[in-house]
Amino acid sequence: MLTINVTLLLAVIVFFRLRRRTEARSRFDQKLTVVIVLALGVLIAPTPAGQGILNILGQLASGVTQASR
């Protein structure tokens, strides 16, 4: 499946881009990283792993909301 390969490639790119020191990044570099991460999120979302992440984050948000009451 092509989506998995593109997703894996984007994940590797994000990993290496985020390893760099923050001071060495320009505004363009930061914006490009955000665009790549958003594209990665769009590719991961419809997969079973993406659905699992969504469920975990939903439960976490629900727990935080209930704890603040």
As a whole number, mean pLDDT of residues 12-24 equals: 81
CA 68 from chain centre, in angstroms, equals 26
Q: Is the per-residue pLDDT at 40 higher than 60?
A: yes
d(CA 3, CA 49): 13
25 DSSP 8-state letter: -
Percentage of the chain lying above the pLDDT 90 cut: 0
Residue 56: phi and psi, rounded to 5, are: -65, -45
- What's the pTM? 0.59
Higher-pLDDT residue of 10 and 4 is 10
Predicted confidence at residue 17, as pLDDT, reads 84
Helices (H), the chain: 2-19, 27-44, 48-67
Name the pLDDT band for 19 (thresholds 50, 70, 90). confident
d(CA 6, CA 40): 9
